[in-house]
Structure 1
Amino acid sequence: MRCKSGNLGLDEELGHFDSVIQMKPIPSIWALDHLLGALSKMNQCSTVVSMYKQMLACVGLHPEVSTLSVVINCLCRMNHSVEALNLVEEMFRRGVKPGLVTYNSLINRLCRSAQWKEATRLFKRMLDEGIAPDVVTFNTVIHALCKERRTEEALSVLELMSQRGMRLNIVTYNSLIYGMCLTDQWAEATRLFDEMVGQGVLPDIITLTILLDALFQGGMPEEAHKVVEAKVKYGMELSKITCSMLIDSYCFRGKLDKAKKVIDLMVMKDNAPDIASCYKALVNAYMKAKRIGEALRLVEELIEQGQMPDMETLKALRGLRPKIF
């Protein structure tokens, strides 16, 4: 039996399936198993489940373990976790262990439907049964635990991952950094970031966005500045919101030299949008600190960038150096 890719071929095969399961004696299960596998690859999951139920109702037709695996994967993609778990139990009753792909599909679906306890239980059972998890399995479980703020358990899974000689990838680090930020563990989040870069795993926009937002909320502008520098190093775009937040935070804490470095980064990356407001914040901070010369030089620099200071900034500086205006 062969499953064709076109709609007509699919209809023909389904019609042939109906006739085959009514034959006496029933033919080999292999042909039906092959058809279900082909339908699954075509994303015909509801059809696979329907055909499987017809097979169960057919006396003398006993689905193979491979058939059960295909059906479980389809049930997971249809978000029918309970039915999928029941089929897993059926496999155990037959004395057969589900394979890695089946475990990964089910654990992933359980995590997506917020059934964290069931997912971690299945993960532990997987280990007990001697089925070796791969990077996909570990990343799925770590992400689920971090979303639930169960960071200690996530780090335990991470340790197990390391013991098995598996290399952490961008997905692993992003999940862990997210979990640490979610639980206000800023030092651990930045340590993971440093470790990530040190291991040669390049941070992506997700990593940096998660970490920047968290560090600003946690009142850690110096650490945020390090992340901004990493964005520049890896050629990522500096958003005006990120830079504005960082400059405001430095100005508020009186760290004006660091605020100026952020403006320099913006100019270097030609990030012109709203740069005038960033200059304004630093000019006002220089004025309050009685660093008048630096305030005037900053205004000159702004003009050189092709932008004029607003009226409020001009008013604050009027009379200090009239020849500029």
Structure 2
Amino acid sequence: MNKKMISTAVSHFGDPSFFTLFRSYSALGITNSTHLENLIHKRCKSGTLKLDEALGFFHSLIHARPMPSVWAFNHLIGSLSKMSHYSTVVSMLREMMRCVDFHPDVVTMTIAMKCYCRLNRVDLAFSVLAIILKRGLQPDAYTISTLLHGLCREGKSVDKAMGLFHSLKKLLEIGNVKPSVDCYNPLIDSLCKERRVDKALELFQDMINQDVQPDVVTYNCLFHGLCKSDRVEEAKEFFNDMIDRGISPCVYSYTALIDSLCKEDKSTEAISVFGLMTRKGIKPTVVTFNTLISGLCKFGQLKEGLQVLNNMIECGTLPDVVTYSTILDALCKERRTAEALNLLEAMSDTDVKPNIVTYNSLIYGLCHSGQWREATGLLNKMKVQGVLPDVVTFNTLVNALCKESRTKEALGLLGLMIQRDIKPNLMTYTSLLTAFCNTNQWEEATGLLKEMVSLEVFPDTLTINIVLNALAKKEMTVKAHETFKVAIGLLKTLQKLRVNN
């Protein structure tokens, strides 16, 4: 090999010393192949293996004669799979399968299945399963769990995944292999996310009957499902069951339980669980703190929420945009808008930038405190921060201006919404229509009605009643009266269409 070729290869594989290894191992016999296998095993376990280095090792393995053992290949492609180089692994596997002397085992094929699943090609993972069976290999519990994880991850029907699981369970029984907890977890998780908690509990019981020990992931999935279904007492029972089985709850377990307790206004219990968690030496995450702060603020316990915030900072956990937005919203609800504005300024001085939720909370609070000027002024601040207002932002401002009978400014905001490609909705039009009818601005009101009908903005009973009440007013012009009569018929038709759909 000439110097130019060596230089090119070195630039591709990165490390010159590695290239020396690559060149020497490619040319040596079985004894040194064993050394190569040991080196690969060592590098893979180190956690510092790089892609270029792995490609070099693979080239050495694939060209070595006699063919090195399958476990060396498995270590290499397994490490690359863990590093999310799925397409690279698939390419390697195709080259490996073309080698006459290469005999894959079930581990090799399971890695292939995992990569196909991660590439959202579960169909090809099933093809690999077919190859496993055709070659007379016995799929193990990990093989089955890989396929089930892929099905659930791709968003396929959980019922299909369940059907597959029961079919494959029979296959495992033939080989005297028991399903693992990883076979059950993706199914339980998917069922819980679909709010089919009773079905998930049935599967959990099947686990127990099969003498399969649940793990912390199993319980966390159940906590999530039970808490989202407002079955807090059952969640607490499973929490105790988890501890009785000798399974230590993790930060996610505690956070899920704290969340469910907060939603039921059981803040004392939530704080107690939080205390137990810290005494166990489990460090709360920012999500844990946010969950507790949100629960306290939601039920008017801002003072306690601020204490948790102080505790959070003392523990070295930095507040994020959710933390600040929650506190800011609670301040606004208590009409402490000056403090809320100060908090917004404090956020702007940190790496935590306000988002649309932050601004919408503040704008809502300012509007409900009669500070519509300050609220509309925040639109410019949002623009500077690169935060785009949404329909909620504009509706809050339009409604506030309409209540102040400042319909000209409200119409200006409507124009700005359309200019920014934000579609006005029923709330936008109802606020404006109410203001126009209350101030006898019939020309503007008729124009608005025509626009609503043309855009097929479906009215509700409130909107219909506003138009009907306006028709009864003596101040209405003849032209407006005729337009309103036609509009009321069209709006009622739209209302029926909405109900029927």
Query: Is the shorter-chain TM-score for this pair beyond 0.5, marking a shared fold?
Result: yes
Identity across the alignment (%): 22
**What's the TM-score once normalised by structure 2's chain length?**
0.45
1 CA distance for matches of 2:426 and 2:314? 46
Contact preservation (8 Å) 1:190, 1:223: no
Which structure 2 residues correspond to residues 1-325 of structure 1 after superposition, within 5 A?
1=216, 2-3=219-220, 4-5=222-223, 8=234, 10-14=236-240, 31-42=249-260, 46=266, 47-55=269-277, 58=279, 61=281, 63-66=283-286, 67-94=288-315, 96-235=317-456, 236-237=458-459, 240-247=464-471, 252=475, 255-268=477-490
8 Å CA contact retained: 2:332, 2:365: yes
Root-mean-square deviation over aligned CA pairs: 3.3
Q: Distance in 2 between matches of 1:53 and 1:203?
A: 47
After superposition, give the CA deviation of every residue in 1:163-182 in whole Å (9 maximum; x if it has no partner): 23333221011100111123
- Separation (CA, whole Å) in 2 of partners of 1:117 and 1:14: 45
- Assess if the C-alpha contact under 8 Å between 1:177 and 1:189 holds in 2: yes
* Bigger Cα Rg: 2
Moved more, 200-209 or 80-89: 200-209
SS in 1 for 2:448: helix
Moved more, 260-269 or 179-188: 260-269
C-alpha contact (below 8 Å) 1:55/1:61 kept by paired residues: yes
Report the Cα distance in structure 2 between the residues aligned to 1:50 and 1:19, rounded to whole angstroms. 22
Contact 1:97 1:129 in 2 (8 A): no
**Matches of 1:151 and 1:221, distance apart in 2:** 25
Deviation at 1:184, TM superposition (A): 2.6
The letter of the residue matching 1:174 is N
Gaps of 5+ in 2: 1-215, 227-232, 494-501
Q: 2:259–2:295: 8 Å Cα contact kept in structure 1?
A: no
Aligned-partner residue type, residue 236 of structure 2: L
SS in 2 for 1:136: helix
Q: Tell me the matched-pair count.
A: 259
Query: Could you say which structure has the greater relative contact order, defined with CA pairs below 8 angstroms and 6 or more residues apart?
Result: 1
Partner amino acid, structure 1, of 2:275: K
The whole-number CA distance in structure 1 between the counterparts of 2:359 and 2:404 is 21
Instruction: State the SS of the aligned residue for 1:98.
Output: coil
The range that moved more, 41-50 or 117-126, is 41-50
Structure 1 residue runs without a partner (length 5+): 21-26, 272-325
